[in-house]
Chains A and B, each alone.
Chain A
Amino acid sequence: MERRDFLKFGVLTGATATLTACEKPAQQLARFVPEEDFVPGVAASKPSLCTLCPGGCGVVVRVMDGEAEVIRNGQRGLIQMGLAKKLEGNARHPVNRGKLCARGQAGLQVTYHPDRVQNPLKRSGPRGSGDFHEIEWQEALSEVASKLEELRSQNRADSIRFITGNMRGQRRQLINKFLSSLGAPPALQFAPLDEPVLRRANQLNFGRAILPSFDLERSNYVISLGADFLGTWNSPVSQSIGYGEMRRGRPGNRGKFVQVEQRMSQTGANADEWVACSPGSEGLLALGLAHIMVKEGLRPGQPETAQSREAVEGLRNETYSAAQVASRTGISANRIERLAREMAAHPPAVALIGGAALAHTNGLCNALAVNLLNLVLGSIGLPGGMFFTPPISIMKGATSPNDNSDFVSYFRSGHFEPTEILFVDHANPVFATPQGWQVSERLKQIPFLVSFSSFIDETSVLADLILPDHSPLESWLDDAPESGTSEAVLTLAAPAMRPLHNTRAMPDVLLELAKSLGKGVSEALPWKTFEEMLQRSFREIAQAERCDLSDGFDKVWGRVLEQGGWWDGECHIPPPQTTSAQFRAPEFVPPVFDGGEQEFPFYFQPYVSEAFLDGSLAHLPWMQELPDALSTVSWGSWLEVNPKTAEKLQIRQGDLIRVRSRHGTLDTPALLNPGIAFDVVAMPMGQGHEQFGRYARRRGANPMNVVAPIGVEQVGSLAWASTRVSLSKIGQKRRLCLSSGSLYEKEEQPGLR
């Protein structure tokens, strides 16, 4: 076919697409990116949302016209359409203020990934074989509908389950409405990056099961216990912005930043003072610091409630004296005293906790201890301290605690709840859970598994049906970030481009199912499309928040879509409420580790990879080729060992090491790291995929293979830092893609390659 004809044909199908858009949700989007807007070569900016981590940053998509091969009405063809070319931060978005992290920018490659699922797939081989064949949407949907109908008629709706990833806003609402209207239990949430422990602590102390925000801009002293808050933790971009200002934004006033951990993280690498403490003793250090401030009467005065006073008095207990704490944390007593006095002398000071510090069996008391320290520092709800992002009052559940515990109990409860049909959306539990949970085995028991995944990953490969979702750039998105900003924020975004493949937005698919299920369900979900739902819910919110709708709702709606969401200034939201603090007397329980010290001499510390997070981004070539900040390794995984330890074990850089725990083994090359404790070995999460596209498949090793399936006490979420392991050389070498030629700049150490 001539190129010109191809163009014509393309334009035709493009047109049909627009016409049929009204009934076919898959083509709804056409309306929001009118091609006629495009002058060839002139870029348009479309606001969007980054969905890659819980940070919830606002995005601006650079869209330019181009020719893309797309599927329309079952036909492949070349059409002129707006194509996303680059993702940048939305300068008006309160969370990330125009900035975007490396991952966020690589989100572009999710849309254009060569291994995206392009059509609905039906399993043709045995489970896990990865043999699928393409089917029509109608066929796929009617199959699901009949299954649901059947279960409903047998009153076995409770055997309909739904697993989602970390998800906020109306998307989550829609899923739960759908489930409840069927009489099914609410969706289970699987979010490996979430900090359920911290939520629980904040629930107990502040009555808010949400993650805290920090006013780093204005703090003069920041101590972080294991939180990689400049890299992957909580709201990294907003925290990085604040950090920059804390360091250099206020002439003549440079804040101090102390990091406490066992393995120097990207965040720790920036600390003015880096402190190593024994694993799991972070909470005790916090109490020790508080103890000194209370005892020496150093704490900056602040109003307090009766029982918070009681809690503070509890700190005088000698078990938290510098000497006691020193012996159990491995930090010298005078260093602890010095730190405490420095902190008190440089208000406002604030303490953060995250990462491994919360992933020990005693994670909860570590978290509570740090909250108490913040109380003593007087940094709660005040400038330069910690606070909570105000919720949008009526968005019930929209920002509700994404607690994994229900998910955990679902899989770990002795009797695995009988499930007839399981939907999985934006979650890959098979990859990101320890072998011990046997997630994969249990999923295999489920008769009918439906995945909305855009990729064949370790979980969707088990599915009977894959109903591929649009990529975020092709979807209607909404989100209410729970941290990283001092104003209530509702991010709202229309699709930045039309879909490339024969995919459908998951919410629209649910709405279509609801329609076909009829009685009960369709009433509960009256909207034609997800867009309509968003618009309706926004109208409610706008009214509830007393927005100024004087110049008509449509105007406001248009303005909101144009700016990429809606936040303070648009509406009037009550300031943060943190007075209802409920502090309890301090207590510290030491952590428990899996595996005996003799047989398993090393603490095994997996850490969230800057490039891949929990592994959900390992399929992106840009992320694979990005040298890791500290190891500078790309395209693989590695085990970090202290050079002195390595010398003892005669391990050299690149030697393949067999890591063994009570629960499994893995092989990965050794990397010498001068920034890790002698008795700790660390490994990035995210590699070791069996599936997940050509760039991630069969690459590196997955630390989850050795992680012990222990839960955090009183919370139940995975205590992923409480495994002990043994190391042994297996006599092979593996070339690491090392981008650094030398560990050191000045000293004459030999370059490690």
Chain B
Amino acid sequence: MAVDLDRCTGCAACVIACQAENNVPTVGEEAAGKNRAMHWIRIERYYQGEFPNPRVKFRPVLCQQCDNAPCEPVCPTYASYHTSEGLNGQVYNRCIGTRYCANACPYTVRTFNFFNPFWDKPLHLQLNPDVSVRQVGVMEKCTFCVQRIKASEIQARAENRELREGEPTPACVQSCAPKALVFGDLNDPESEVSRLARSPRGAKLLGELGTRPKITYLERESWDGQNS
């Protein structure tokens, strides 16, 4: 995935899209006050300077799907593991809730079910049947909408063809009006995401840690051309 910070407006459409697609529960005021809200993607807001010359930088942060993911080796039950497709998988049924992976993740994108999730009826009818609901004590995080990836793969196989550009599309990407989020196949050098990943504005978040994230952030540029 590529994230163009020069396009992102901080509108948070992606946050709700993800919440709706992946049955991410709401935790209520008290828990949210304790920083226990569970959004799988967050919009980081950083000020630079102050009035009369404030600047703000928005940065959507989701699981970076690291190739060299610190969250994986530490998991005692293989609940956090590397899939054959190179995704960072999370097997809810296997998770026993040590929260070790969440400490190890430098991006703090893993969210934890401190209590059983709850939907006041009939809000439960909004739940997406393609995604399982997680139990108390289970760790979860962005999956790159693996259910959509699988669905597209199955579809493509059924029509025996390759996946097309723009298929699958994760919920957050789909909702992003300024097209700040771009998803695609990094193995295909022609795909738009590969093109963007090669951009001179491109950088990995906390790249210095050697986690080899799969997400490239395209730095915001000031009008006269310098990165800012």
**Cβ-based interface call for A642 (8 A):** yes
Interface centre among B122, B130, B222 (most CB of A within 10 A): B122
Q: Which residues of chain A come closer than 8 Å to B53, judged between CB atoms?
A: 274
Q: Is the CB of B42 within 8 A of A274?
A: no
**Shortest Cβ gap from A493 to chain B (Å):** 19
**Shortest Cβ gap from B153 to chain A (Å):** 16
* A636 in contact with B29 given A237-B177, A629-B11 (CB within 8 Å): yes
* A625 in contact with B52 given A68-B122, A96-B177, A99-B13 (CB within 8 Å): no
Stretch at the interface among A436-444, A510-518, A716-724, A734-742: A734-742
Q: Is the CB of B175 within 8 A of A89?
A: yes
**Residues of B87-135 contacting chain A, CB below 8 A:** 120-130
* A744 in contact with B46 given A101-B13, A244-B180, A273-B223 (CB within 8 Å): yes
Q: Is the CB of A694 within 8 A of B120?
A: yes
**Cβ-based interface call for A674 (8 A):** yes
Contact with B along A737-753 (1 / 0, CB 8 A): 10110111111000000
Q: Give B9's nearest chain A residue, CB to CB.
A: A230
Q: Is the CB of B11 within 8 A of A627?
A: no
Q: Is the CB of A676 within 8 A of B20?
A: no
Q: Give A753's nearest chain B residue, CB to CB.
A: B35
**Cβ-based interface call for B212 (8 A):** no
Q: Is the CB of B46 within 8 A of A745?
A: yes
Q: Give B151's nearest chain A residue, CB to CB.
A: A43
**Shortest Cβ gap from B149 to chain A (Å):** 16
Q: Give B50's nearest chain A residue, CB to CB.
A: A674
**Shortest Cβ gap from A50 to chain B (Å):** 12
Q: Is the CB of B55 within 8 A of A114?
A: no
**Cβ-based interface call for A610 (8 A):** yes
Q: Is the CB of B51 within 8 A of A276?
A: yes
**Cβ-based interface call for A536 (8 A):** no
Q: Is the CB of B125 within 8 A of A83?
A: yes
Q: Which residues of chain B come closer than 8 Å to A273, judged between CB atoms?
A: 223
Q: How many A-B residue pairs have CB under 8 A?
A: 209
Contact with B along A126-139 (1 / 0, CB 8 A): 00000000000000
**Shortest Cβ gap from B104 to chain A (Å):** 19
Q: Which residues of chain B come closer than 8 Å to A622, judged between CB atoms?
A: 16, 19-20, 26
Cβ-neighbour of A231 out of B11, B51, B122, B179 (below 8 A): B11
Stretch at the interface among A263-271, A399-407, A568-576, A596-604: A263-271
Q: Give A114's nearest chain B residue, CB to CB.
A: B120
Q: Is the CB of A625 within 8 A of B45?
A: no
**Residues of B36-51 contacting chain A, CB below 8 A:** 37, 42-51
Q: Which residues of chain A come closer than 8 Å to B125, judged between CB atoms?
A: 66, 68, 83, 112, 500
* A627 in contact with B42 given A105-B13, A105-B16 (CB within 8 Å): yes
Q: Is the CB of B20 within 8 A of A108?
A: yes
Cβ-neighbour of A99 out of B21, B46, B175 (below 8 A): B175
Bound complex: CA A267 to CA B120 (Å): 34
Bound complex: CA A241 to CA B35 (Å): 32
Q: Is the CB of B51 within 8 A of A675?
A: yes
Q: Is the CB of B122 within 8 A of A244?
A: no
**Cβ-based interface call for A634 (8 A):** yes
Cβ-neighbour of B11 out of A230, A248, A676 (below 8 A): A230
Q: Give A65's nearest chain B residue, CB to CB.
A: B129
Q: Is the CB of A269 within 8 A of B58?
A: yes
Q: Is the CB of A248 within 8 A of B6?
A: yes
Q: Which residues of chain B come closer than 8 Å to A737, judged between CB atoms?
A: 29, 32-33, 37
* A634 in contact with B4 given A112-B126, A256-B223 (CB within 8 Å): no
Q: Is the CB of B33 within 8 A of A735?
A: yes
Interface centre among A109, A241, A627 (most CB of B within 10 A): A627
**Cβ-based interface call for B10 (8 A):** yes
**Cβ-based interface call for B215 (8 A):** no
Bound complex: CA A694 to CA B51 (Å): 38
**Shortest Cβ gap from A593 to chain B (Å):** 20
**Cβ-based interface call for A210 (8 A):** no
**Cβ-based interface call for A15 (8 A):** no
**Shortest Cβ gap from B27 to chain A (Å):** 7
**Cβ-based interface call for A64 (8 A):** yes
**Shortest Cβ gap from B220 to chain A (Å):** 9
**Cβ-based interface call for A183 (8 A):** no
**Cβ-based interface call for B174 (8 A):** yes
* A635 in contact with B45 given A68-B125, A86-B21, A230-B9 (CB within 8 Å): no
**Cβ-based interface call for B203 (8 A):** no
**Cβ-based interface call for A589 (8 A):** no
* A241 in contact with B178 given A744-B46, A745-B46 (CB within 8 Å): yes
**Shortest Cβ gap from A591 to chain B (Å):** 20
Q: Is the CB of B177 within 8 A of A500?
A: no
Bound complex: CA A570 to CA B125 (Å): 36
Q: Is the CB of A270 within 8 A of B21?
A: no
Q: Which residues of chain A come closer than 8 Å to B6, judged between CB atoms?
A: 247-248, 254
Bound complex: CA A745 to CA B220 (Å): 15
Q: Which residues of chain A come closer than 8 Å to B54, judged between CB atoms?
A: 264, 274, 674-675
**Cβ-based interface call for B66 (8 A):** no
Contact with B along A594-638 (1 / 0, CB 8 A): 000000000000000010000000000110111101101011100
Q: Give B27's nearest chain A residue, CB to CB.
A: A625
Contact with B along A61-95 (1 / 0, CB 8 A): 00010101100000000000001111111000000
Other than the given A230-B9, A625-B37, 20 more pairs (CB < 8 A) read: A41-B129, A85-B127, A101-B175, A102-B11, A105-B13, A106-B16, A114-B121, A230-B11, A236-B11, A248-B4, A272-B222, A273-B223, A500-B122, A622-B19, A630-B10, A630-B56, A632-B45, A634-B29, A674-B51, A739-B37
The 7 closest A-B pairs by CB, nearest first: A244-B178, A674-B50, A240-B177, A269-B56, A635-B29, A745-B46, A99-B177
28 A/B residue pairs, CB under 8 Å, sorted by A: A66-B125, A68-B122, A69-B122, A101-B177, A102-B11, A108-B20, A108-B126, A112-B124, A112-B126, A114-B121, A231-B9, A237-B177, A247-B6, A254-B221, A256-B223, A269-B58, A621-B123, A625-B27, A625-B28, A629-B43, A630-B10, A630-B56, A632-B45, A635-B33, A636-B29, A737-B29, A739-B37, A740-B44
